[in-house]
Amino acid sequence: MLRIRRIFDDVLPANRETLEQVKEILRDRFSQVSEEEIEQLGAKLRNPFKQRFRPILFVAKTLRSRVKGFAMLLHEPEIGFCFLDWIATAGGRTGGGLGGALYDRVRREAVDLGAGELFFECLPDDAEKCPDEALLKENRARLRFYERYGARPIVNTGYELPVNPGDSCMPHLVYDALDAVKPLRRAFARKVVRAILERKYSGYCPAEYVEKVVASFREDPVALREFRYIKPQAVKTAVDDRSTEQIALIVNDRHQIHHVHERGYVESPVRVRSILAELDKSGLFARLKPRAFPDKNIHTVHDADFVSYLQHASEAVPEGKSLYPYVFPVRNKTRPPKEPSVLSGYYCIDTFTPINRNAYPAARRGVDCALTAAREILDGRRMAYALVRPPGHHAERRVFGGFCYFNNNAIAAQYLCAYGKVAILDIDYHHGNGQQEIFYRRPDVLTVSVHGHPKFAYPYFTGFEDERGEGEGEGFNLNLPLPENLDGERYRKALGKALHRIEEFFPQFLVVALGLDTAKGDPTGTWSLMAKDFEENGRLIGTLGLPTLVVQEGGYRTRTLGQNARNFFRGLVQGHLKAVGNRQEPKVRLHGVVFRCELQPQDPERIRRLAEITGFFTADEVEVAVELVNERLAKGAPSGYHFVMAEHYGRLAGYACYGPIACTASGYDIYWIAVHPDYQGKGLGRRILKETERLIRESSGTRIYVETSQRVQYASTRAFYEDCGYRLEAVLADFYAAGDGKVVYCKSLI
Ligand SMILES: [Zn+2]
């Protein structure tokens, strides 16, 4: 069995492994692609806007993670089209419908992105243009395949013109109108062709060639070749909508055994059944079985002593009985008593969360579910939902309570954070005191909670605004306590603040602690959120565009639970699709950036990492960048190299290196400006440049020079300097290579 999955970057080890396999297929199937281009694949995915095409990679994998085929789609958000760069199967196998499944997925994506048309190249299927017989056969099979979708080569244009004399076998440009029957307009086609030739073939097609081909699109609409292989009435243009990736759903299969029958104990098995009944109808989910994970994953979050207490206490309670704490160690937290009913107070925060025979096995299985969901995210799935009970967000490092035993969301977050920063967003009606306490001193997991104010809502003692984290973790906990009466609109104001903080944190993963007790009529809450509010909240959260793990927490009004959950996920998926198909990177105002000029001993390594991850510098250039830092560290100001380091919550977000130009009265050179991909498109480069100019002015500098290349790749760099008031001063033709001149910009400070 194969599944098709989108690979977003090469940050996760699973994705890196997948990318290596993709590269192998590329080398095998496309001998004309250069090794340099193949090696750039990961950087392109990480920094999608670098080449003004957003690459989207789909892979078809077996369950054992072998890549059997892939498709690389390029999305052009400004003009609004998609270009299918590569589609290939391992060993060139065309049988088994794998190529078809990948092409269906690509078409679906193009439609979801709002790109009305899809273009790609195909080698010719005419004997006179393609003398190689085996290749000709392959080309014919390919064009026949695409005709089934109505996609055909564009004709009567100069797209097949040889670039160099003697070039043969030039590809056709093929057009797929996707699910619509519409003519291809000339003006649009010209923009598309220009973008393809200038960006994709920037190093290959000279400017005159591009102009000639663009001008050769004379007919309006542009003509497509007649059907050659199949009858036009056999064409199926419909876009397959089953190919959208589903949310992994992992349900605690042992939750029913945990059933506390005491009156008023609203945390009951019917909750999961109510939610499931509605989810099953939605078609959004793919059910997966929970896998077993070892206890060590729990011990990273909960004290081993606490875990072992829960297990043994649970085993020791007679069948059908409940153990309730009734005294608590306010004065002496270090001396656990012996008597079982007294000892339970040592590990618990309230009097209504009992330990019984089934509490431990049910809660333990809930942890497996959360970890299975986290594993799915690490395997590259964009969304997973652990539908579990008992809930977990009130469980702290060494205490349980509030119907919670193990903190499922914190355990999952801890598991994920080995691969990147995690933000936990708790949208239960009650404060998420558990993960707050667990991550309170850590800057790598941001905890945010939107909840009823503790002056009237459980857990009463935590959840205040001034709890902001401690030590290293200061600033990485955000509480947004809200008033007793609240509707959806006012709720979303607070949610907006929460999401803003998360955006500024630049997490790799989002964990949502989903409480549905914010709903109107919930027996444990006081708010009045309606079904449509849950959809809207989901949509807002989805627009973060992050890999998202949702863990079920509270929610007790069984009549509306299912509908609200379904609406939440519907919104989440829509928001996410919109975010990943966004025309531009989100424009975020960056707060909390701090500049410094003094270098620190760890800066050479930090600058190396930054320069590498931008994907903009060659290996030699990275070495030079690091050398300059070392030079400055060794010799101080006499080295002639000065630095502006921009830090965001302790992380190097970007930097500039500059220095006085020898033998000039007051001229300065800016040698480098680099911005981490996470921070690009947020105005940081501009701020670093401003700060640099300020320092140069302070040192009585009057003129600043910057140099860059004439190549297309540097178009955005040149535009950046021009926008910042730099004037083109000189062009040294063919400086770096033939056709690649050096461009010198200058800004006068007086
Ligand atoms: Zn709750």
Strands 422-426 and 509-514: parallel
Residue 408 has pLDDT above 80, yes or no: yes
- 630 token code pair: 């070392």
E runs forming strands in 407-474: 422-426, 445-452
pLDDT band for position 584 (50/70/90)? very low
Instruction: Give the pLDDT of residue 700.
Output: 93
Residue 292 CA, ligand 1 centroid: distance in Å: 27
Instruction: Give the pLDDT of residue 48.
Output: 65
What is the pLDDT averaged over residues 142-170? 91
713, HSE (Cβ side, Cα atoms, 13 Å): 14
Residue 431 CA, ligand 1 centroid: distance in Å: 8
Least confident of 88-97, 488-497, 678-687, 695-704: 88-97
Q: Tell me the percentage of the chain whose pLDDT exceeds 70.
A: 96
pLDDT band for position 722 (50/70/90)? confident
Bond from prior residue into 483 cis (ω within 30 degrees of 0):
no
Residue 582 has pLDDT above 70, yes or no: no
Q: Among residues 67, 114, 116, which one has the least CA distance to residue 379?
A: 67
Residue 560 CA, ligand 1 centroid: distance in Å: 15
Residue 164 has pLDDT above 90, yes or no: no
Q: Helices 715-723 and 684-698, interaxial angle, to 10°?
A: 50
Confirm if 411 and 393 have CB atoms less than 8 A apart: no
| Rounded Cα distance, 406 and 393, in Å | 8
Q: How many residues are there in the chain?
A: 750
Residue 40 has pLDDT above 70, yes or no: yes
Reduced to 3 states (helix: H, G, I; strand: E, B; else coil), residue 15 is helix
What is the pLDDT averaged over residues 84-98? 79
Residue 702 CA, ligand 1 centroid: distance in Å: 62
Confirm if 671 and 627 have CB atoms less than 8 A apart: no
Distance of CA 97 to the CA centre of its chain: 29
What is the pLDDT averaged over residues 4-18? 79
| Rounded Cα distance, 251 and 254, in Å | 9
Rg (CA), the chain: 30
Residue 267 CA, ligand 1 centroid: distance in Å: 10
Instruction: Give the pLDDT of residue 536.
Output: 98
Residue 137 CA, ligand 1 centroid: distance in Å: 64
pLDDT band for position 585 (50/70/90)? very low
Instruction: Give the pLDDT of residue 586.
Output: 43
Helices (H) and strands (E) in the chain, counts: 21, 22
Residue 555 CA, ligand 1 centroid: distance in Å: 6
Residue 679 CA, ligand 1 centroid: distance in Å: 35
Residue 433 CA, ligand 1 centroid: distance in Å: 11
243 against 8, higher pLDDT: 8
Bridge partner list, 58:
6, 71
| Rounded Cα distance, 613 and 629, in Å | 17
Residue 436 CA, ligand 1 centroid: distance in Å: 15
Inter-CA distances, 390 with 401, 550, 570, Å: 11, 15, 24
Rounded to a whole number of angstroms, the distance between the first and last alpha carbons of the chain is 68
Residue 506 has pLDDT above 90, yes or no: no
Bridge partner list, 400:
348
Residue 458 CA, ligand 1 centroid: distance in Å: 8
Active site residues: 394
Q: What is the mean pLDDT of the chain?
A: 89
Could you report the per-residue pLDDT of 665-689, keeping only the tens digit for each? 999 999 989 998 778 777 899 999 9
Residue 374 CA, ligand 1 centroid: distance in Å: 22
Instruction: Give the pLDDT of residue 5.
Output: 82
Least confident of 9-18, 50-59, 513-522: 9-18
Could you report the per-residue pLDDT of 362-374, keeping only the tens digit for each? 999 999 999 999 9
565 against 207, higher pLDDT: 565
Residue 12 has pLDDT above 80, yes or no: no
Residue 428 CA, ligand 1 centroid: distance in Å: 5
Instruction: Give the pLDDT of residue 131.
Output: 84
Q: Among residues 505, 248, 502, which one has the least CA distance to residue 375?
A: 248
Place of tokens 């875990």: 307
Q: How many CB atoms lie within 10 A of CB 637?
A: 11
287, HSE (Cβ side, Cα atoms, 13 Å): 9
- CA dihedral of residues 416, 420, 421, 422 (deg, nearest 10): -30
Q: Among residues 662, 691, 688, which one has the least CA distance to residue 675?
A: 688
Q: How many CB atoms lie within 10 A of CB 265?
A: 14
Q: Among residues 431, 400, 376, which one has the least CA distance to residue 301?
A: 400
Residue 98 has pLDDT above 60, yes or no: yes
Residue 430 CA, ligand 1 centroid: distance in Å: 4
